[in-house]
Structure 1
Amino acid sequence: MVKIIVKNISKVFKKGKVIALDNVNITIENGERFGILGPSGAGKTTFMRIIAGLDVPSTGELYFDDKLVASNGKLLVPPEDRKIGMVFQTWALYPNLTAFENIAFPLTNMKMSKEEIRKRVEEVAKILDIHHVLNHLPRELSGGQQQRVALARALVKDPSLLLLDEPFSNLDARMRDSARALVKEVQSRLGVTLLIVSHDPADIFAIADRVGVLVKGKLVQVGKPEEVYDNPVSIQVASLIGEINELEGKVTNEGVVIGSFRFPVSISNDKVLIGIRPEDVKLSKDVIRDDAWTLVGKGRVKVIGYQGGLFRITITPLNSDDEIFTYSDHPIHSGEEVLVYVKKDKIKVFEKN
């Protein structure tokens, strides 16, 4: 296990014209599972590379425990001395080596004895349930098995820190949940500090204790995934960590008005963005008598889709082209008028930039 301390780290490219990281500060505790979430181009990969020692910060300091490993453009501790295991998006397996040889590769470079290499490879292969495919080449393995081989190669060195760079993006949807569960189980068993970088909030919710959201190189919010989900600092953060309806409304004495919808919130700005998660929207033909839900108005069903065992229903206010969507276990026909309810305490209000 290792504690990672990032102090005022910035990274610029092209003589300062491109800012990849902008004054990032974060502490990742010993044995913690920490996630970095952000869109493409946010600086996630640059952050990962600096932690791994594959790049250096232009300014700022990076500590592993109390040891300074990189500072102000200087690499003080090289990657091979940082006790890091890394799993890449592509898994980066050598196609001409067997699973055993792929896993053993870093140990071979460390000049370990053949007996010790075999012992370590077999131990980690047993943990990951791939001992029966050790003699197979990567092309003979399923996607899930290839990923386990990549994870085994990262763990066989007994690292203090495990870095995962978009590790599940090459798996089909059926396999991702089991792969996430495996990673969390192995991390808990070994106690290694874990840093996962992803654009997929499902990865973060499944694995991370805390998440940091990177936007344009800035770490804009840090917290438990569920806290960031419920209380995002901006509409962009809200949309990065989960589905959300985004509506631009006009502020009146009666609340925020969007067509025939009225959201009962108070704010001083003339125009704001209303955010409401789809699970916090309910459609009904009858009045709902439940204090947790508030009626915002009548709407008309625009379109209905189907995914994941639920109907995705898009509604518009009666006199507006704005849209709001939710999920339902039963269909509602296009063109029908419905009463639209939202959870009072789940309405999110953001300033319009």
Structure 2
Amino acid sequence: MARVVLKDLTKCFGEVVAVNRLSLDIKDKEFVVLLGPSGSGKTTALRCIAGLETPDEGEIYIGDRLVNDLEPKDRDVAMVFQSYALYPHMTVFENLAFPLECAKVPREEIKERVQRVAELLQIRDLLDRKPKQLSGGQQQRVALGRAIIREPKVFLMDEPLSNLDAKLRVYMRAELKRLQKELGVTTIYVTHDQVEAMTMADRVAILDRGVLQQFDSPDRVYAKPSNIFVAGFIGSPPTNFFDCTLTDEGVLDAGEFKYSLPRDLVKIIKEKATSNEVVLGIRPQHVKVYRRKEKENLIKARHYTTEPLGEMVILDLKVGETLVKAIVDPEFKVEKEHWIEFPVEKIYLFDKKTGTSLL
């Protein structure tokens, strides 16, 4: 298998910089997800690794080889696309066997490898069927099988589950993760779906407008986002943000409310921030809601609306005209007014000018 290294990878389309000096060091056998919104450069980066796009600058290493000038077929990678790209006139067996036939693998070995991959993917009973006779999930398994059967050093996957329904997507996420660990193949997976990224990845590379924002484990990008973009992009419902001014007394003034900070955080802001203008962030999961003022540093809020989600409820509250989302249990009794707390150990603080985390 192989380590994959990108050094200052840059790709432009006319005036648009799709990928901007992207550097990643992906370990052998690691499952890395490239995550970002549409236009973030994740698919372009993947296509550069595959050899389907030529970078304008930078280097791509697969194993110990610089592959910039190699044809896609010589890079020892296998790509799985959003569209399954199965040959409609061929059976499942023939679709799986096709890349081996192109490589002039002996017929007996082809049969053996097809049977082995079909067993792994639990599609042995489908080998005689044509693609039109398969469900979406079955077609996806065949597409995966065609990549696996080549025994490449690296799997490249471009939103392979996006055409499946929600229930099947959940099942296939677990299957893909199991397969990747069982095969031990370095995998680079592109998605805009943060749930896919957080549940499948060993590490997540978050991109925005072609620039790497953070490359870390799912736990760390959730708990320790490097900037406002990451904090807002990761997590559902999205993080609550409040523009604040740090007063001389060490209080964050958000206009609609004030929030007292401990001295150590005040010191950090004064040392790291470019000014006294900061952004306070807290996830809805971490907002505590009370029916009365039970302690200091609570903020008065009025009920705005309720969003029931079965096992939990999103409570939309207003502090003045500022909307705050909190998550409560379905049994929580909603009143016209509440008091809310932002536990200091759960808050994020960002420099308003640069957007970078101060904590």
Q: State the 1:254 CA deviation.
A: 5.0
Contact 2:260 2:297 in 1 (8 A): no
Residues 1-353 of structure 1 aligned to structure 2 (within 5 Å): 1-14=1-14, 17-70=15-68, 76-242=69-235, 243-252=238-247, 253-265=249-261, 266=266, 267-268=269-270, 269-286=275-292, 295-317=297-319, 320-330=320-330, 336-353=336-353
Amino acid of the residue matched to residue 135 of structure 2?
Answer: S
Structure 2 SS opposite 1:323: strand
Cα-to-partner distance string for 1:279-335 (whole Å, 9 max, x where unaligned):
11121214567xxxx843111110101225321111111xx2111112222266776
One-letter amino acid of the structure 2 residue matched with residue 315 of structure 1: L
- Residue 342 of structure 2 aligns to a residue in which SS? strand
Q: Distance in 1 between matches of 2:142 and 2:56?
A: 34
Structure 1 counterpart SS, 2:53: coil
Secondary structure in 2 aligned to 1:167?
A: coil
* SS state at 2:40 partner: coil
Partner SS state of residue 125, structure 1: helix
Contact 1:260 1:298 in 2 (8 A): no
Q: SS where residue 136 of structure 1 aligns?
A: coil
Q: Percent identity?
A: 39
- Paired with 1:129 and 1:272, the residues of 2 have a C-alpha distance of 53
User: Do the aligned partners of 1:254 and 1:262 also contact (CA within 8 Å) in 2?
Assistant: no
* Structure 1 alignment gaps of length 5 or more: 71-75
In the TM superposition, residue 337 of structure 1 has moved relative to its aligned partner by 0.7
User: Taking structure 2 as the reference length, what is the TM-score of the superposition?
Assistant: 0.88
Question: Gaps (5+ residues) in structure 2?
Answer: 354-359
Q: CA RMSD in A?
A: 2.0
When you count strand as a share of all residues, which structure comes out higher?
1
For the 8 Å contact 1:84–1:159, the answer to whether it is kept is: yes
**What is the TM-score of this pair, normalised by structure 1?**
0.90
Q: Distance in 1 between matches of 2:225 and 2:89?
A: 47
CA shift digits 1:249-287 (9 cap, x unpaired): 333335223355433333353432221111111212145
**Alpha-carbon shift at residue 4 of structure 1 (Å):** 0.8
Letter in 2 for 1:132: D
Higher mean C-alpha deviation, range 5-14 or range 40-49? 5-14
Q: Provide the rounded CA distance (Å) in 2 between the counterparts of 1:95 and 1:308.
A: 42
Higher alpha-carbon deviation: 261-270 or 200-209 = 261-270
Shift in alpha-carbon separation, 1:144–1:255, aligned structure 2, 3 A? farther
